[in-house]
Chain A
């Protein structure tokens, strides 16, 4: 791939200096505002909107004349309708300042008041701030802001980072009335266009290719002598009346649903007829990655992980059981190297180096495990994923940049195990929840392939053995068992509050927690077990000869999961889960059961989830069995009511009361 870069540079050198004909877009002219827009007081398509993007026009031009680069000309016009929209008048334009820095030039910004007066944002009021390494933002706000004002700004961003061009979002957290992106690309470069969201609403206008004459450089000894002409492909994409987009609870990233377009360089067509694939095939990409010094070579070349090996080799010497070996290696790596909180697939320096500084990004930690497992003769391969926050993956094109995390796929006795060991508290085979994004791509020399990443589950089980007394006090023992993902937060809770104070929070102020004992706190492979004594004052309501009480005094689901009325995008639950209760309560002497909740079963269609509830009297005991289970992880907006209703019914049932009555005589 580095070869490609060199070619691109050469290629650029060949064609210096060329006038660039650039026209303004017809959809928007600087300062030319329709009277109707100036007078607008509400936006009809979204009457509640506090501001609306009236026109948003981008113009991407890939240049082959003055160096190989592209220019993104952006012009946006926003109507501020209400005071609540004032925040939209503060603009931030980020640009890259690392290697091959980007530039923002020609920034102009003005405000047009409802009376037609116009004011510029003066240059001195445009601030530049380095927000983090390699990224700077230009920031400004508009003077004399008031309701009804229109603001507009435009600028050119020039970038040499042509492998991907500037992304274009048609959709924003404000509604957009008109959005257009025009792209001009010389046919020497070919890009794939990656659309997302609302595709059916985009109009594409293909403008006839134009011919551009490029002057050859005479001093260069290249096949191309003299001038060459190149066809310019011009495309424009228009979307109108785009609704605002907003994050909802239980979803991956909102970008997965945003109407947008991205560009990826796929092929170079040299003027002399040679062709070079930038996006080749998944097979070639796998080969390149495996040869990459910061990826494949890290685990394929022993020198890159020699130091780790020296320390760990004695620990696995003589062990033949592969499973056992894998466990040792996982534990060794995850307890020795701390995750620095960043998701990265490439190794920044080397595995040795990360091992020395004891801190590394996600991919590096997993790569250490991969290297050691392979060294120890086990079958393991790297799998690239894009985290839930980072967005969904595109299988169609071999685009490496879509990934941001790497996990390990181990194959052992015909079983496949996904390993992601950034947190030693997670059991083996349980990837970071962020990595549960449906798929991953296995990097393999012979047969690279997309694999489904099955989300392992989590479960809680509570066994309660208690006594209810005449004063309404419930006391007894709770035994909790946590498995898989559910054990992770509970382990952290116990590490933080060894006396089990977190249970106090769950059971409420009237509870007393005592004699907490925990098993397998630091053994993630085994289920976490806790056992404690509890006393719950006023667990039941006592009046006259009656006692009323709710047997399920704690559950993850006694509060609503879904409070909002409707849903625009799918509900996306990361992993399947289960919660079970087995409760045995001795009722006070001299009381009999007057009423007991009915047995109940609720299911989500297609077996997506189920809830079973059974409450029975057994002599002087009441026994309650409750089981909530979710298997289906994704629910389309039209299924929202199903899952909402499912949890509402659970909450309702869990709140039902048992009625006890004093026996007469």
Chain B
């Protein structure tokens, strides 16, 4: 009923809108028929024309102006919506969108009422001042063309834009990117995955650098391919000098950017005297620095928790030590600087280290300085220790998969310095199953398994163990971790998390009524239902991109399978099978004891990280395919004649 009141209100608004004059404006030049046929192959959208102007007004202010005309062919493209992220340092200009049909006849202008604005929920922050302006067009008759115009003004920000010139399954008819800047204020740029020279122009006062792209054909996305940043053409801009709040900084070198970060966080260490004394007391009996670090890290984990509050410049500046002491919480910056302060008090040198964590989609490089980071942790060079300060349960010196094996920026007294985080490969990312299976004459199995997990493979178990109640953990385990098995009756489940090393053990005992399928006098007994490989990439005879596998891990499985009375083995796979390739190795072997009452199944899998040319794709796929096949091996048992 409250809707009725609103309805009247809307009706009134509608009358107002309806009375405003609107004139249709046709653009025959947008007709879809004018797109060169080569640009129509394998596309969801075609960028008809794009003009981007980046206007550097001064050290403290810059503006972006965009005009984009794009033809949308189906619902798969996301170019049918405009998403602008902004915060307190950004002012968005007016956004406009006009829709045209296939022939270029104007359908309508998108009204301001259709623009939505909401908090950019990142899923982990208690509060953040980042917001999103969202203009969805979502028209239904394909193909159609949208003309977007939008702009934004940024003040006191070190972040120049990164533009993808092309996205997957999109071709570009023409695009121009222009940087306008004062003669005496330089900037840096980097053009990736495409090679053209910019043109420059000067009117004595302002200088313009311009890139023009024409007729860029579609780029397809493939599995096990390099990340988009290594495939898609992009233009990255960065300042040499910038301001943030009342701070001024340089970005001409990593060293200088590091010095700026140090200045920004210069006041983070205001630890109270009581806290200093506590730190000293906690570590006074410890003999080595390693021990001391472990004590303080555990103290941090036990007493502080991760709560993220990202506000204005505070989004980049750490809350100080007293804030953490008082609230017993902080975000990654606050907790990292707090940990650093604790270590400082006992004379251990530690450096906050900036990182782009998550899926590794680009590498921070020495030569081109631009701060594309989203996380910070602590590095202790003397011990080569890495401390993830937001985790309540990581063992000391374990960063986790999301920060592993990448270039990071360490903030030393002398400024920024690139460093590299450890990779978790082979036995540092391992799963070991040791199981005993008892098979009944009905094909039921009673299974006892002891799993040992290390590194990234134990992270889920550790996280669920810490963050979920026992019953939720059980539910998660039943629904997600026993996929190879039919319905089970889980009798026992026990997880143990090692406090000092990134390892976890899982022990379970369960009954499976329908483990092996039966047919008349035979039982078809799968040898491996506990750890099946199923990551086979799709068949592709026209592979375009190189093959990239970032994951690397090791698996070892040993199953003792006791067979039911009254059955004999009718058929069994070969006793040993070995695959040895540049992509990894696989070995499976089966031992049969004397009276054939028991089988021992062994499996060893080693997946290697690779970067190989596209021409290897067939072989690469065959290796993965063969593993999947061998993992499905069965033994056929047949009832003995009595």
The interface of chain A, by Cβ under 8 A from chain B, is: 1-2, 5, 48-50, 82-87, 90, 98-99, 125, 127, 129-133, 139-141, 143-146, 161, 163, 278, 292-294, 335-338, 340, 346, 348-350, 353, 356-359, 400-401, 495-496, 501, 504, 508-510, 512, 538, 541, 543-544, 546, 548, 550, 560, 562-565, 595-598, 644, 648, 651-652, 655-659
Q: Does B281 contact A (CB under 8 A)?
A: no
Q: Which A residues are in CB contact (< 8 Å) with B634?
A: 541, 548
CB pair A338–B138 under 8 Å, yes or no, is yes
Main secondary structure of the interface of B (DSSP, over half): mixed
- For B479, the closest partner residue in chain A by CB is A563
CB pair B517–A564 under 8 Å, yes or no, is no
CB pair B538–A563 under 8 Å, yes or no, is no
Task: Tell me the minimal C-beta distance from A595 to chain B in angstroms.
Answer: 4
Q: Does B628 contact A (CB under 8 A)?
A: yes
CB pair B4–A294 under 8 Å, yes or no, is yes
Q: Indicate with 1 or 0, residue by residue over B288-328, a CB within 8 angstroms of chain A CB atoms.
A: 00000000000000010101010000000000000000111
Contact of A564 among B3, B114, B138, B478 (CB under 8 A): B478
Contact of A510 among B111, B573, B629 (CB under 8 A): B629
Q: Does B2 contact A (CB under 8 A)?
A: yes
Q: Does B126 contact A (CB under 8 A)?
A: yes
Q: Indicate with 1 or 0, residue by residue over B454-485, a CB within 8 angstroms of chain A CB atoms.
A: 00000000000011111110010011001000
Q: Indicate with 1 or 0, residue by residue over B324-345, a CB within 8 angstroms of chain A CB atoms.
A: 0011110000000000000000
CB pair A336–B514 under 8 Å, yes or no, is no
CB pair B108–A356 under 8 Å, yes or no, is yes
Q: Which B residues are in CB contact (< 8 Å) with A340?
A: 138
Beyond A132-B118, A294-B3, A658-B519, is A504–B514 a contact (Cβ under 8 Å)?
no
Q: Does B624 contact A (CB under 8 A)?
A: yes
Task: Tell me the minimal C-beta distance from B517 to chain A in angstroms.
Answer: 4
What are the nearest 5 A-B pairs in CB distance?
A509-B536, A338-B140, A543-B571, A294-B7, A143-B327
Task: Tell me the minimal C-beta distance from B312 to chain A in angstroms.
Answer: 13
Q: Which A residues are in CB contact (< 8 Å) with B121?
A: 131
CB pair A129–B7 under 8 Å, yes or no, is no
- A278–B117 CA distance with the chains assembled, in angstroms: 35
Contact of A350 among B14, B141, B303 (CB under 8 A): B14
Q: Which A residues are in CB contact (< 8 Å) with B230?
A: none
Q: Which B residues are in CB contact (< 8 Å) with A293?
A: 7-8, 11
- A87–B327 CA distance with the chains assembled, in angstroms: 16
Contact of B1 among A350, A400, A659 (CB under 8 A): A400
- A621–B521 CA distance with the chains assembled, in angstroms: 22
Q: Which B residues are in CB contact (< 8 Å) with A143?
A: 326-329
Task: Tell me the minimal C-beta distance from A358 to chain B in angstroms.
Answer: 6
CB pair A335–B141 under 8 Å, yes or no, is yes
Q: Which A residues are in CB contact (< 8 Å) with B326?
A: 143
CB pair B10–A546 under 8 Å, yes or no, is no
Beyond A163-B2, A563-B487, A657-B519, is A509–B624 a contact (Cβ under 8 Å)?
yes
Task: Tell me the minimal C-beta distance from B1 to chain A in angstroms.
Answer: 5
CB pair A144–B521 under 8 Å, yes or no, is no
Contact of A84 among B468, B475, B479, B624 (CB under 8 A): B468
CB pair A538–B629 under 8 Å, yes or no, is yes
Contact of A595 among B116, B119, B127, B520 (CB under 8 A): B520
Contact of B524 among A86, A125, A657 (CB under 8 A): A657
Beyond A83-B466, A84-B466, A141-B126, is A657–B140 a contact (Cβ under 8 Å)?
no
Task: Tell me the minimal C-beta distance from A144 to chain B in angstroms.
Answer: 4
Q: List 10 A-B contacts (CB under 8 A).
A: A2-B8, A84-B467, A131-B119, A139-B126, A349-B11, A353-B14, A562-B487, A564-B475, A595-B522, A659-B636
CB pair B138–A560 under 8 Å, yes or no, is no
CB pair B140–A335 under 8 Å, yes or no, is yes
Task: Tell me the minimal C-beta distance from A359 to chain B in angstroms.
Answer: 6
Task: Tell me the minimal C-beta distance from B338 to chain A in angstroms.
Answer: 14
CB pair A648–B486 under 8 Å, yes or no, is yes
- A656–B517 CA distance with the chains assembled, in angstroms: 6
- For A128, the closest partner residue in chain B by CB is B127
Beyond A543-B572, A659-B519, is A496–B466 a contact (Cβ under 8 Å)?
no
CB pair B9–A358 under 8 Å, yes or no, is no
Q: Indicate with 1 or 0, residue by residue over B13-36, a CB within 8 angstroms of chain A CB atoms.
A: 110001000000000000000000
Q: Does B392 contact A (CB under 8 A)?
A: yes
Task: Tell me the minimal C-beta distance from A235 to chain B in angstroms.
Answer: 23
The interface of chain B, by Cβ under 8 A from chain A, is: 1-11, 13-14, 18, 74, 76, 107-108, 111, 114, 116-119, 121, 126-127, 138-141, 303, 305, 307, 309, 326-329, 392, 466-472, 475, 478-479, 482, 486-487, 489-490, 513-514, 517-522, 524, 536, 538-539, 570-573, 621, 624-625, 628-629, 634, 636
Beyond A1-B4, A129-B119, A595-B520, is A84–B514 a contact (Cβ under 8 Å)?
no
Contact of B10 among A146, A348, A548, A562 (CB under 8 A): A348
- For A248, the closest partner residue in chain B by CB is B475
Q: Which A residues are in CB contact (< 8 Å) with B303?
A: 146
CB pair B140–A337 under 8 Å, yes or no, is yes
Q: Which A residues are in CB contact (< 8 Å) with B625?
A: 509-510
Q: Which B residues are in CB contact (< 8 Å) with A652?
A: 486, 514, 517
- For B6, the closest partner residue in chain A by CB is A99
- A156–B12 CA distance with the chains assembled, in angstroms: 34
CB pair A50–B469 under 8 Å, yes or no, is yes
Beyond A2-B5, A504-B539, is A656–B519 a contact (Cβ under 8 Å)?
yes
Task: Tell me the minimal C-beta distance from B117 to chain A in angstroms.
Answer: 8
Beyond A336-B140, A546-B571, A648-B486, is A141–B1 a contact (Cβ under 8 Å)?
no
Q: Which A residues are in CB contact (< 8 Å) with B514?
A: 648, 651-652
- A366–B457 CA distance with the chains assembled, in angstroms: 50
CB pair A145–B14 under 8 Å, yes or no, is no
CB pair A597–B519 under 8 Å, yes or no, is yes
Task: Tell me the minimal C-beta distance from A189 to chain B in angstroms.
Answer: 14
Task: Tell me the minimal C-beta distance from A538 to chain B in angstroms.
Answer: 6
- For B572, the closest partner residue in chain A by CB is A543
Q: Which B residues are in CB contact (< 8 Å) with A145?
A: 305, 328-329
CB pair B141–A82 under 8 Å, yes or no, is no
- A143–B307 CA distance with the chains assembled, in angstroms: 10
CB pair B629–A565 under 8 Å, yes or no, is no
CB pair B471–A48 under 8 Å, yes or no, is yes
- A1–B1 CA distance with the chains assembled, in angstroms: 8
Task: Tell me the minimal C-beta distance from B419 to chain A in angstroms.
Answer: 32
- For A654, the closest partner residue in chain B by CB is B517
Task: Tell me the minimal C-beta distance from A372 to chain B in angstroms.
Answer: 18
Q: Which B residues are in CB contact (< 8 Å) with A512?
A: 539
Task: Tell me the minimal C-beta distance from B125 to chain A in angstroms.
Answer: 10
Task: Tell me the minimal C-beta distance from A626 to chain B in angstroms.
Answer: 15
Task: Tell me the minimal C-beta distance from B132 to chain A in angstroms.
Answer: 11
CB pair B126–A84 under 8 Å, yes or no, is no
CB pair A657–B517 under 8 Å, yes or no, is yes
Q: Which B residues are in CB contact (< 8 Å) with A401?
A: 1-3
Q: Which B residues are in CB contact (< 8 Å) with A1?
A: 1, 4
- A159–B594 CA distance with the chains assembled, in angstroms: 81
Q: Which B residues are in CB contact (< 8 Å) with A85?
A: 469
- A504–B537 CA distance with the chains assembled, in angstroms: 11
Q: Which A residues are in CB contact (< 8 Å) with B518?
A: 656
CB pair B479–A144 under 8 Å, yes or no, is no
- A644–B486 CA distance with the chains assembled, in angstroms: 12
Q: Which A residues are in CB contact (< 8 Å) with B6?
A: 98-99
- A325–B108 CA distance with the chains assembled, in angstroms: 29
CB pair A655–B629 under 8 Å, yes or no, is no
Beyond A145-B305, A565-B489, is A655–B636 a contact (Cβ under 8 Å)?
no
Q: Which B residues are in CB contact (< 8 Å) with A346?
A: 3, 7
CB pair A648–B14 under 8 Å, yes or no, is no
